[in-house]
Amino acid sequence: MTSGLKDKRILVGVCGSIAAYKACDLVRRLRKEGADVTVAMTEAATQFVGPTTFAAFTTHPVLVHQFPTDPEQGVPHVEIAEAFDLMVVAPATADILGKAAHAIADDLLSTILNIIDVPILFVPAMNFRMWRNPATQDAVSRLRGWGRRILDPDEGDLATLHVGVGRFPETESILSEIRGMLDIPQLLAGKRVLVTAGPTREPVDPVRFLSNRSSGKMGYALAAAARDFGAEVTLISGPVALDPVPGCRMVPGTTAEEMLAAVMHECGSQDMLIMAAAVADFQPDQARDKKISRSSKPTALSLKPTPDIIKAVRKEYDGTLVAFSLQAGSDLEPARKKLLDKKADYMVVNRYDESGMGFETDMNHVWVLSAAGTEQEIPPDNKLSIAKQILEIIAQDIPQ
Ligand SMILES: Cc1cc2nc3c(=O)[nH]c(=O)nc-3n(C[C@H](O)[C@H](O)[C@H](O)COP(=O)(O)O)c2cc1C
């Protein structure tokens, strides 16, 4: 699998902001994508997160002191000037922005900022009053004027319980910016992708429902992968025990009918629909208004088919449509028939009878069939990796 950040040398500067702990997630994500990360911290930052944490995440010593106690260590800031592909200061305090804008070099991180010769991204995080302070804004516009990238902070709840502009952005936005600065091609840049995920619940009465064992993990992995490839992602999710995918717009759809309505409402503006939800095939003929009592001794449940979302959406939507099929065994003929019947462009086939794969697990093993007649097997792997490989196959067909 390709990962644009593999072996990129990235220096992360961490400053004394309450958001310093969020740099841990950023560093972990960069490492997970294969980047070689070194962390430099200000003294103030060490009040918020210990250097040991970053040393463990990066497996490199953390740079804090401008004047090393051991003279044999050389002059760290000079050696650093060309040793990286990119520097990201996250979180960037008002203090470091001011220093960088005025060539102040009174500690290791600010000295590095004065000497380093690679693209620099600042990710400010601070109290909303500190952000709108004219001195901070002046520093930001000076730095931007010199070609430094400054990510605007998000608006929302701040650590002090105030609401305003100053929040540290989502890790995903920072990663996207980094990829853009490193000219890493984004497979789905500028594309809009809709993913459905999870099971549906078909009510029997106000307290019971019919559902299935889908965990939603495959659909959530596809949403995360599409986001990582630069797409704007909408994730329509059935009821699952997973955290929302950061950076994706989440839309709930509990029953097959709700999911159908959500898909029809959203599909018009999408470049690709990935229908990974395990939508129930049947629903109770008539959901009861009141809880069915044990004493009524019910013996049968009458069922009717749920709406076929893929067939319904195909009538309205002529972009790339990806369907999923769950089967036993590895005979792909039934899936090929289903692909034609549903008029999908791709059918991703996964099995429910392969130990440790598919439903409720973190692993999968799939085949991607196309309406054009191609057939590709993706060997067992974790679902995020499978998701990326599926998108790499399909993205080639999306008109640019
Ligand atoms: C609890 C606490 C939280 C702080 N959070 C922030 C912050 O989010 N952003 C900021 O710019 N400064 C913040 N500060 C102020 C900085 O820590 C202070 O300006 C410090 O000198 C910055 O040093 P540095 O830029 O060398 O890391 C905070 C201070 C304290 C005590």
Residue nearest to atom 17 of ligand 1 (CA): 16
Q: What local confidence, expressed as pLDDT, does residue 312 receive?
A: 97
Q: What local confidence, expressed as pLDDT, does residue 75 receive?
A: 66
Domains in the chain, number: 2
Q: What percent of the chain has pLDDT over 70?
A: 96
Q: Which atom of ligand 1 is nearest to the CA of 96?
A: 25
Handedness of CA 53, 58, 64, 65 (dihedral sign): positive
Query: Of 127, 133, 212, 364, which one is the catalytic site residue?
Result: 212
- The residues pairing with 202 across neighbouring beta strands, listed in sequence order, are 210
Omega cis (within 30) before 305: no
Burial class of residue 142, CB neighbours in 10 A (0-12, 13-18, 19+): middle
Q: Do 214 and 150 sit in the same domain of this protein? A: no
Residue nearest to atom 26 of ligand 1 (CA): 42
Q: Tell me the average pLDDT across 325-346.
A: 95
Bridge-based pairing of strands 9-14 and 86-92 is parallel
In a domain? residue 1: no
In a domain? residue 232: yes
Q: What percent of the chain has pLDDT over 90?
A: 79
| Spatial contact of 370 and 335, defined as CB atoms under 8 Å apart | no
Q: Do 253 and 208 sit in the same domain of this protein? A: yes
Q: Give dist(CA 245, CA 290) in Å, integer.
A: 35
Domain final residue, candidates 181, 202, 224: 181
The DSSP line for 85-125 is: SEEEEEEEPHHHHHHHHTT---SHHHHHHHH--S-EEEEE-
Q: Do 147 and 253 sit in the same domain of this protein? A: no
Q: Which atom of ligand 1 is nearest to the CA of 109?
A: 26
Q: What local confidence, expressed as pLDDT, does residue 168 receive?
A: 94
Q: Tell me the average pLDDT across 307-328.
A: 96
Indicate the pLDDT class of residue 161, thresholds 50, 70 and 90.
confident
223-265 pLDDT per residue, tens = 999 998 889 999 999 999 998 988 899 999 999 999 999 999 9
Q: Is the pLDDT of residue 279 over 90?
A: yes
Q: Is the pLDDT of residue 399 over 90?
A: no
Residue type, 267: C
Lowest mean pLDDT among 10-14, 38-42, 117-121, 158-162: 158-162
Which of 12, 14, 15 for mutating ligand 1's site (highest number of atoms within 8 Å of CB)?
15
Lookup result for tokens 């730095």 = 143
Alpha-carbon Rg for the chain, nearest whole angstrom, is 25
321-333 pLDDT per residue, tens = 999 999 999 899 9
| Spatial contact of 284 and 278, defined as CB atoms under 8 Å apart | no
Domain final residue, candidates 135, 153, 181: 181
Q: Tell me the average pLDDT across 347-356.
A: 91
Q: Which domain holds residue 206?
A: 192-288+298-395
Helices (H) and strands (E) in the chain, counts: 13, 19
Q: Do 196 and 169 sit in the same domain of this protein? A: no
Query: Which residues neighbour 243 within 8 Å (Cβ) at sequence distance 6 or greater?
Result: none
In a domain? residue 4: no
Q: What local confidence, expressed as pLDDT, does residue 176 receive?
A: 85
Q: Is the pLDDT of residue 1 over 60?
A: no
165-174 pLDDT per residue, tens = 899 988 888 9
Q: Do 235 and 376 sit in the same domain of this protein? A: yes
Average pLDDT, the chain: 92
Q: Is the pLDDT of residue 356 over 60?
A: yes
- The residues pairing with 237 across neighbouring beta strands, listed in sequence order, are 197, 252
Query: Which run of H or E residues covers position 390?
Result: helix 383-395
